[in-house]
Amino acid sequence: MPAQKTSQTTWTLITIASILVAVLLLWEGLKSFSRASEYALALPWGGTLDLSNFNNQQLPHLGDIFGAFLEPAQRNGPPLYVILFRASLFTLSEAVAGFVLGSLLGFVLAVIFTHSSLLQRGLLPYVIASQTIPILAIAPMVVVWMRQLDLTALAVPVIAAYLTFFPVTIYTLRGLTSVSPLQLELMQSYAATRLQILVKLRIPNALPQMFTALKISATASVVGAIIGELPSGIQDGLGGAILNFNQYYVQSPPRLWATIVAAALVGMLFFGAVVLAERLIVRWQVKA
């Protein structure tokens, strides 16, 4: 078994590395090809194909993007990676707060829906409707409301929570209700209370599904936090960095790309943390 596992890990790493190399080759290959054909390719059947999307302005060299991390973002300032690290931590903390808030809300809704089919039928349409409203439309209002309540610091977590509670509700509800009738009857024959059934049967049964939802929520909460920063006027996080590097994109395209890389890393880090928690908590269910 250990040998098999080792070879599996090796193959995973090899696959990840090959995909990375393939992307690098494709990225730089397209760029040098476009440059060689002066960003306009004559097609055999006439006309030209505009390749200007691959110039350094639209698609910087990967080397330049990673080089941008090491260069200062402003004269005499710290290198960009220091600024992005701080911004990432800030955004991650907002995302975690939103993740916790949204997951709790999602869990509570799922428990309510499990025990009241009337509420489930009555409330679920609104829960679903809430997800069809673009977060961009809601975010500015959340900011204004939270400011009026003197809870400005909660605005971004609430926006992130708005994106995260839904998968938790749906997956948890499915997990809580998909217990086998046999087990349910056994519990009932012991005169177990609803709470006991919930804690001893339904929740353990739902845990694998809940973690599936939490993994979706983890990445969604990072997106929610970044979007939430924009109408909040928060400039310390990745949203603020994206906004500024976007405004001054012409002046240094690699910086915006570097910020995108940082945002992706934050999402992956959070996802990884949830996977780790899953392995520790749901040992009996997790396969590979």
Q: Which of 168, 192, 169, 188 is nearest to 180 (CA)?
A: 188
The sign of the dihedral angle between the CA atoms of 233, 239, 242, 246 is: negative
Cβ nearer to another protein, comparing 187 with 266:
266
Q: 3-state SS string over 95-135?
A: HHHHHHHHHHHHHHHHHHHHHCHHHHHHHHHHHHHHHHCCH
Restricting to residues 197-236, name those near another protein by CB under 8 A: 230-235
How many residues bind another protein (CB under 8 A)? The answer is: 52
Site string for another protein, 65-104 (x = CB under 8 A): --------xxxxxx----x--x------x---x--xx--x
Minimum CB distance to another protein smaller for 158 or for 201: 158
Structure tokens at 111: 């428990």
Output phi, psi for 116, to 5 deg. -135, 105
Within 44-63, the residues that bind another protein by CB under 8 A are 55-57
In the window 128-167, what residues touch another protein (CB under 8 A)? 136, 139-140, 143-144, 146-154, 157-158, 161
- Is residue 126 involved in binding another protein (CB under 8 A)? no
Based on the shown chain and the rule CB under 8 A, indicate whether residue 177 belongs to the binding site for another protein.
Answer: no
Which CB, 101 or 222, lies closer to another protein? 101
Cα(278)–Cα(215) distance, integer angstroms = 9
Query: Quick one: which of 66, 81, 85, 249 contacts another protein (CB under 8 A)?
Result: 249
Of the pair 101, 207, the CB lying nearest another protein is at 101
Q: Which is nearer to another protein, 11 or 248 (CB)?
A: 248
**Residue with smaller CB distance to another protein, 112 or 179:** 112
251 binds another protein (CB under 8 A): yes
* Segments of 4-142 assigned E as strands: 40-42, 48-50
User: What distance in Å separates the CA atoms of residue 138 and residue 136, rounded to the nearest whole number?
Assistant: 6
Cβ 226 to another protein, closest distance in Å?
A: 12
The three-state secondary structure class of 225 is helix
157, 176, 2: which is closest to 90 by C-alpha? 157
Distance between CA atoms of 181 and 170, rounded to whole angstroms?
20
What is the Cα–Cα distance from 157 to 241, expressed in whole angstroms? Answer: 18
Applying CB under 8 A, the residues found at the interface with another protein are 55-57, 73-78, 83, 86, 93, 97, 100-101, 104-105, 136, 139-140, 143-144, 146-154, 157-158, 161, 230-235, 240-241, 243-245, 247-252, 255
